[in-house]
Structure 1
């Protein structure tokens, strides 16, 4: 899996194919089917290998919500820092042991907060989807060299009569920073909004 993970980091998802992995291992694609059933299973194992870098907070430190945020944010950073991993997280069913351990950890924190049954099960899915989508957006912009300058220029030039709210909120629309650390405040706001919604619908 390390070879496939290196290919993913160097080439993105396009580098993750049975043919390319086999070539890097100096073997034929058919030999890989001894270890994995198909490309989907290979992707699941590669994603799991990448998640080994996540450092989960000690369960005994801080309150449940602080530890929950730290775990979800650690997941975001790992996806962001390994090009291609965020896209893989959005398109791959996470079945490896590290994926399951992360899910179990988040469920434990939700249970500590009094969130049970369907609210916890659906909540963990929503939190991981939020983190992976933010990581994918930011890492994709970095890979393409895209900045928010174009969007900022668009907001400055729009017709205030047609878009009165966009005009009045143009600074706020772009606030909160960029990248995982620069955007931590904005990410925390989204996290809090999701958690409060889960608590409100905890039935």
Structure 2
């Protein structure tokens, strides 16, 4: 027997059971807890304690932790900006979206682990998706090519940003000696001259600045490629 698809967004939200308590308040607290402790740090018990409420009372608003995560996940989409492509042009709209999507993921690193895990059916995610379709329609794409262009842009942003999130989570707070790390990598790459050429460059680049420049380079390449596809 097939399993029924469920989502917190497919039913009307329940009204608050007490003054001052609302689903919006619960979601804000959940996002704060996720930002502080990550996915593993979120539990109904911890959230109840943060709100000075029993965990049982939270189940009035959500059936389980996944539904709570759906609500929190949509708040990440709210942080993304998609200017009207009819006013600014599709490339400007896509550029602003890509940068705001990257920043939203970096501000809420737990969201990277939810990509593909949870449905993005909230109003904020739907707004972004709708604007993206309009964006690529304005560009000149049609039919399934609109969806393929959407997938290309989001896959680029997610693919570039997710490793950055993972690095910051596991290595970003460790104070490694830059010279010692470079020497270690040089030993590992001893048989690869092209890699050694890069490692032995005299300048010491700020990793965050390099990642930002790499994102710029790749985004321009993706948009140039989409534009070239339209021309042909």
TM-score by length of structure 2 reads 0.68
Query: Which moves more between the two structures, 133-142 or 44-53?
Result: 133-142
Corresponding residue for residue 79 of structure 1: 105
Distance 2:146 2:109 in 1: 30
Distance 1:155 1:201, change over 3 A: farther
Query: Which moves more between the two structures, 107-116 or 72-81?
Result: 107-116
Establish whether residue 47 from structure 1 lines up as the match of residue 73 from structure 2: yes
Partner of 1:93, secondary structure, is coil
Establish whether residue 8 from structure 1 lines up as the match of residue 37 from structure 2: no
Per-residue deviation at 1:77? Answer: 0.7
Distance 2:162 2:212 in 1: 15
Deviations 1:81-131 (A, max 9, x none): 234233334643211111111122222212222222323213323422332
Structure with the greater alpha carbon radius of gyration: 2
Per-residue deviation at 1:8? Answer: 0.7
Distance 1:171 1:80, change over 3 A: farther
Distance 1:34 1:129, change over 3 A: farther
Distance 1:122 1:151 in 2: 40
Corresponding residue for residue 156 of structure 1: 186
Tell me if structure 2 keeps the 8 A contact 1:7–1:15: yes
Tell me if structure 2 keeps the 8 A contact 1:47–1:89: no
Tell me how large the CA RMSD over aligned residues is.
Answer: 3.4
Distance 1:171 1:192, change over 3 A: farther
1:41-120, aligned counterparts within 5 Å? 41-89=67-115, 91-120=117-146
Q: Identify unmatched segments of 5+ residues in structure 1.
A: none
Distance 1:38 1:163, change over 3 A: same
Establish whether residue 19 from structure 1 lines up as the match of residue 24 from structure 2: no
